[in-house]
Structure 1
Amino acid sequence: MDLPKDDRALSPHTGYTRAHWEAAADALLAAVAPYATEDHALYHFPGDRQSWSGRLSDGLEGYARTLLLAAFRRDETALERYADGLAAGVRGVWPRIEDRSQPLVEAASIALALRLTRPLLWDRLDDGVRQRAAAWLGDALTAEAWPCNWELFPVTVAGFLQEIGHEAEASRDAIDRGLERIEKWYVGDGWYTDGDGRKFDYYNGWAMHLYPVLHAWLAQDARLLDLYGGRLFRHLDDYARLFGGDGAPMHQGRSLTYRFATTAPLWLGALTGHTPLSPGETRRLASGALKYFLDRGAVDSRGLLTLGWHGPDSRVLQGYSGPASPYWASKGFLGLLLPPDHEVWTAAEEQGPAEREDAVTAIAAPNWLLQSTRSDGVVRLHNHGSEDARYDPYYTRLAYSTVTEPSASYDNSLIVGDDPSRTGIEPLGVGEGWAASRHRASSGARVTSVVLTRGAVEVRAFLVAGAEPGTPVRVTGWAARDGVRAELLPAVGLDDDLTGVTGQEATVFVALARLTAEQDPVPLKETVSVRSDGEGEVRVRWSDGPEVGVRLGDSGGGEWLSVAAGADE
């Protein structure tokens, strides 16, 4: 991809400016153009991958998601092609929007793009085309959505249809219904779960916040913007901490092939004025993520976004991932709606949280503990509250980071017998330097897990109850990755190979872990000492800090936990 020369005066951390974002958008739009059908209604990208929705739906996905990019770029030449495609698509090329169908998803991108570019595209269409397009989109008003972020797709379509006066009452009903349904998934402090359960991931940013806030902003609805904008403001305070010093987003959750769509909520806060971040920090985080992926093979030799994370990688895909799925990365170009003279483009870049300080941040809603170290820019996420068994291993591991990815050999797990499962995760709390949870293995064993952190060091303590005496237990640590050091040492109840066995009663196991990119760190054994009475009490003394007491207990299902810093000997 041909980008402008870096500007290290304005952007000392990334070198990227608005010109880089514009050039990246232009290059992506130019690269997809040859893959449009003759009538421009479908975009079929090369490769043998097909989503479970089929080739026709995948072609619509290619149209809709790249249209969104053209809308953010306000590229009138490209928009003319998409206008032709719209006219052809609604004459019968596109599949109908039906209950829980992929066209419902793509209709939201199309409607949002039309709403954002109304004078440039919609208002220039023939009346007949507009009528057919409104009728095609109108099916989204009553289509049943999957009970998750999908509830916001009818809201997004309805916002546009209401604006143009098409089925105003039905549109208003769809907006009210969708916004009401997501309320039961709002858990506070700026966090949603993506449907029932405890599914916490990037869908918070690129769906649960994006659509309601954009709708409120475009509708100029002060009440809704105050509500949803306030939630976004609070969310961004945590969200900004999920990016590493190298620009990498946290490698956790599903749909990771959307890559720099992770920047959408950062831009959204600046666009609507609901952000705790400075303009320079916003651009640094967003540009850092874009640069991270462009530097690591996200775009192939044809200029197309690949299905993967860095380059092609089937491990991060789901059944719904089709050849055009990566183009939801278009959401990352939301910042181009801000004019060139906006301070988010003119301010000098400022450091992100992972670059400013060593920090341990407790996030109560998902029951996560974020651990970042300034010396290497690595951010680690200790997961004691997020779960979606459909997409294991991207939800069920004990920890994730910005420099590693889950492995097939069950990294960051406690394996009881030959059972590595971690389901029914129950958060037990998160506090200053610690997080805890409980889960059941499929074997029936009950596991209470606690992590304590300081700097880059972790103490991982487990209480295993309900297993047959003599059951082998194994603790695993971080997956190996070039450029980082992954360490794991036994502390209590484990041999040198990080294995132990359960006793007659509930049994304690403790390991020391560290993930660092430092070249010559202090030996792990010298950073912390651990002892246990073998009956549920663990004492942790940091070499440069206080002693912390952890009490774990089990009484046949009545487990308990307490963590206290500076406890008496």
Structure 2
Amino acid sequence: MQLPPDDRTLSPYTGYTRAHWEAAADALLGAVEPYATEDRALYHFPGDRQSWSGRLSDGLEGYARTLLLAAFRRDETALERYADGLAAGTSGVWPRIEDRSQPLVEAASIALALRLTRPLLWDRLDDPVRQRAAAWLGDALTAEAWPCNWELFPVTVGGFLQEIGYETEESGKAIDRGLERIEDWYAGGGWYTDGDGRKYDYYNGWAMHLYPVLHAWLAQDERLLELYGGRLSRHLDDYARLFGGDGAPMHQGRSLTYRFATTAPLWLGALTGRTPLPPGETRRLASGALKYFLERGAVDANGLLTLGWHGPDESVLQGYSGPASPYWASKGFLALLLPAEHEVWTATEEPGPAERADAITPIAAPNWLVQSTRSDGLVRLHNHGSEDVRYDPYYTRLAYSTATRPAPSYDNSVLVGADPSRTDIVPLGVGDGWVASRHSVGESVRVTSVVLARGAVEVRAHLVAGAEPRTPVRVTGWACRDGVRAELRPVAGLSRELSGVTGDGPTLFVALARLTAEPDPAPLEDLVSVRVDGEDGLRVRWSDGREVRVRLADGEGVGVQG
């Protein structure tokens, strides 16, 4: 991908400007064109992988997600091609939108693109094409959605159809129904769960905030914009802390192959004026993420986005991931809706949170503790409240970072017997430098965990209850990666190999951990001392003299003082 020369005056951290975003969008759009069918209704990208929705649906996905990119770019030449595809697709090529079907997802991208570019695309279509397209999209108004972010797809379709005067009553009902539904999942502080349970991940930004805020903004509905924009602004206070100094987003949650879609909420805050971030910081974080992926193999030799994280990587995919799935990264190009004279493009880049100072930040809704260090730009996420409905290494590990990824060897876990599972997570609180939770292993074992963090150092304590005496327990730490150093040291209940056994009752296991990219860090023992206090407590003394007392009680929670 050919990009303009870096501008280190305007963008001292990344070198990227609006011209870089434009060039990246143009390159991605140019690369996908040869993979369109002759009628331009479907885009079939190379490779053996197919989603569980099938080849036809995958081809529609290719059309819809790259159309979204063309819409953000306002590329009239490209939009003409997509107009041809719309005419053909709605003439019987595209699969119908049915209950809980993938076309419902893609209909939202198509509707949003049409709404954003109405004078450039929709208004230039022949009336029969408009009628067919509205009728095809109209099935989304009554299609049953999966009970998660999918509830917002009928909202997005309804917003466009209502604007053009098609089935206005049904469109209004779809909008109201979807917006009412997500209220059940708003957890406060700018955070949503992605459906029932405690599924906290990037869907907060690229779905749960994106669609309601854009709908309110496009509809010029100040009441809705105040509500959803206010939530977005609060979310960005926390969200900005989840990017490393090298631009890497946090490696946690599902659908990570969408990559720099992680930048969408940053741009959305700037677009709507609902952000606590200075414009130079917004661009620095977003451009850092785009650059991070472009420099690490996200685009292959044909200019196509690959299924993976850096390059191709099956481990980050789900069953619904098809060859065109990565093109939801198009959402990051929401940036180009901001005109060139907007302050987010003209301001000098400012450092992100991970570059300004060491920080330990509690986030109440998901019960997370975010730990960042300025010296190496690493960000670590201590997860004591997020899980999927099933065991998933991208949700249920104790910690994630911007420099590591979940390992098959069960990093950041407590293994009781041979069971690595961590289910039924119960948040037990998060505060100044600590976070705690309880989870289940199998049918009877309960593990109460607390992490205390300061600088790059962590004290991890786990109280295992409900296990038979002499049950093996193993504690694991960070997975090693090039350029980072992972340490795990036993303190109590563990051998040098980080394994131990349970006693006749609840048994405490304590370790020191650290993940750092510093070349010569101080010894852990010089930075913190830990003393076990009774059967379920500890006293922690940090090198600056601060002391913390912790009490873990099975069934009663965790007490932290100091």
What's the TM-score bracket when you normalise by the shorter of the two chains?
Answer: over 0.9
What's the % identity of the aligned pairs? 84
Write the deviation string for residues 385-428 of structure 1: whole angstroms up to 9, x where unpaired.
Answer: 00004461000000000000000000000011111110000000
Determine if contact 2:391/2:423 at 8 Å carries over to the other structure.
no
Task: Name the SS of the counterpart of 2:201 in structure 1.
Answer: coil
Letter in 2 for 1:329: A
**Residue of structure 2 equivalent to 1:94:** 94
Write the deviation string for residues 247-278 of structure 1: whole angstroms up to 9, x where unpaired.
Answer: 00000000000000000000000000000000
Determine if contact 1:389/1:395 at 8 Å carries over to the other structure.
no
Task: Name the SS of the counterpart of 1:514 in structure 2.
Answer: strand
Q: Unaligned 5+ residue runs, structure 2?
A: none
**Residue of structure 2 equivalent to 1:188:** 188
Q: Counterparts of 1:505 and 1:531 in 2: how far apart (Å)?
A: 20
Cα RMSD between the aligned structures?
0.7
**Residue of structure 1 equivalent to 2:221:** 221
Q: Counterparts of 2:9 and 2:557 in 1: how far apart (Å)?
A: 55
**Residue of structure 2 equivalent to 1:521:** 521
Letter in 1 for 2:287: S
Write the deviation string for residues 344-403 of structure 1: whole angstroms up to 9, x where unpaired.
Answer: 000000000000000000000000000000000000000000000446100000000000
Determine if contact 1:148/1:196 at 8 Å carries over to the other structure.
yes
Task: Name the SS of the counterpart of 2:68 in structure 1.
Answer: helix
Task: Name the SS of the counterpart of 1:510 in structure 2.
Answer: strand
Determine if contact 1:51/1:58 at 8 Å carries over to the other structure.
yes
Determine if contact 2:197/2:389 at 8 Å carries over to the other structure.
no
**Residue of structure 2 equivalent to 1:259:** 259
Determine if contact 1:492/1:530 at 8 Å carries over to the other structure.
no
**Residue of structure 1 equivalent to 2:445:** 445
**Residue of structure 1 equivalent to 2:134:** 134
Determine if contact 1:419/1:443 at 8 Å carries over to the other structure.
no
Please state how far the C-alpha of 1:545 moved relative to its aligned partner: 3.3
Q: Identify if the C-alpha distance between structure 1 residues 100 and 272 changes in structure 2 by more than 3 Å, giving closer, same or farther.
A: same
Please state how far the C-alpha of 1:526 moved relative to its aligned partner: 1.6
Task: Name the SS of the counterpart of 2:360 in structure 1.
Answer: strand
**Residue of structure 2 equivalent to 1:15:** 15
Q: Counterparts of 1:167 and 1:443 in 2: how far apart (Å)?
A: 51
1:85 aligns with 2:82: no
**Residue of structure 1 equivalent to 2:2:** 2
Determine if contact 1:256/1:309 at 8 Å carries over to the other structure.
yes
1:362-441 equivalence runs, <5 A = 362-390=362-390, 392-441=392-441
Write the deviation string for residues 275-326 of structure 1: whole angstroms up to 9, x where unpaired.
Answer: 0000000000000000000000000000000000000000000000000000
**Residue of structure 2 equivalent to 1:478:** 478
Q: Counterparts of 1:362 and 1:18 in 2: how far apart (Å)?
A: 34
Q: Counterparts of 2:274 and 2:15 in 1: how far apart (Å)?
A: 26
**Residue of structure 1 equivalent to 2:28:** 28
1:488 aligns with 2:488: yes
* TM-score normalised by length of structure 2: 0.99
1:256-405 equivalence runs, <5 A = 256-390=256-390, 392-405=392-405
Determine if contact 1:108/1:154 at 8 Å carries over to the other structure.
yes
Please state how far the C-alpha of 1:528 moved relative to its aligned partner: 0.9
Please state how far the C-alpha of 1:559 moved relative to its aligned partner: 2.8
Please state how far the C-alpha of 1:469 moved relative to its aligned partner: 0.6
Determine if contact 2:391/2:422 at 8 Å carries over to the other structure.
no
Q: 2:557 aligns with which of 556, 560, 564?
A: 560
Please state how far the C-alpha of 1:535 moved relative to its aligned partner: 1.1
Q: Counterparts of 1:107 and 1:246 in 2: how far apart (Å)?
A: 35
Please state how far the C-alpha of 1:483 moved relative to its aligned partner: 0.1
Deviation >4 Å, runs of 4+: none
Write the deviation string for residues 29-86 of structure 1: whole angstroms up to 9, x where unpaired.
Answer: 0000000000000000000000000000000000000000000000000000000000
Q: Counterparts of 2:157 and 2:122 in 1: how far apart (Å)?
A: 14
Q: Unaligned 5+ residue runs, structure 1?
A: none
Determine if contact 1:507/1:534 at 8 Å carries over to the other structure.
no
Task: Name the SS of the counterpart of 2:376 in structure 1.
Answer: coil
Letter in 2 for 1:559: E
Write the deviation string for residues 88-126 of structure 1: whole angstroms up to 9, x where unpaired.
Answer: 000000000000000000000000000000000000000
Q: Counterparts of 1:170 and 1:389 in 2: how far apart (Å)?
A: 32
**Residue of structure 2 equivalent to 1:459:** 459
Task: Name the SS of the counterpart of 2:33 in structure 1.
Answer: helix
**Residue of structure 1 equivalent to 2:166:** 166
Q: Counterparts of 1:230 and 1:61 in 2: how far apart (Å)?
A: 32
Matched length: 562
Task: Name the SS of the counterpart of 1:299 in structure 2.
Answer: coil
Determine if contact 2:447/2:464 at 8 Å carries over to the other structure.
yes
Letter in 1 for 2:340: P
Letter in 2 for 1:420: P
Q: Counterparts of 2:558 and 2:357 in 1: how far apart (Å)?
A: 30
Determine if contact 2:492/2:510 at 8 Å carries over to the other structure.
yes
Letter in 2 for 1:293: F
Letter in 1 for 2:356: R
**Residue of structure 2 equivalent to 1:537:** 537
Please state how far the C-alpha of 1:8 moved relative to its aligned partner: 0.2
1:234 aligns with 2:234: yes
Letter in 2 for 1:120: L
Task: Name the SS of the counterpart of 1:473 in structure 2.
Answer: strand
* TM-score normalised by length of structure 1: 0.98
Q: Counterparts of 2:100 and 2:530 in 1: how far apart (Å)?
A: 52
Q: Counterparts of 1:369 and 1:466 in 2: how far apart (Å)?
A: 27
Please state how far the C-alpha of 1:443 moved relative to its aligned partner: 5.0
Please state how far the C-alpha of 1:534 moved relative to its aligned partner: 4.1
**Residue of structure 2 equivalent to 1:76:** 76
Letter in 1 for 2:324: A
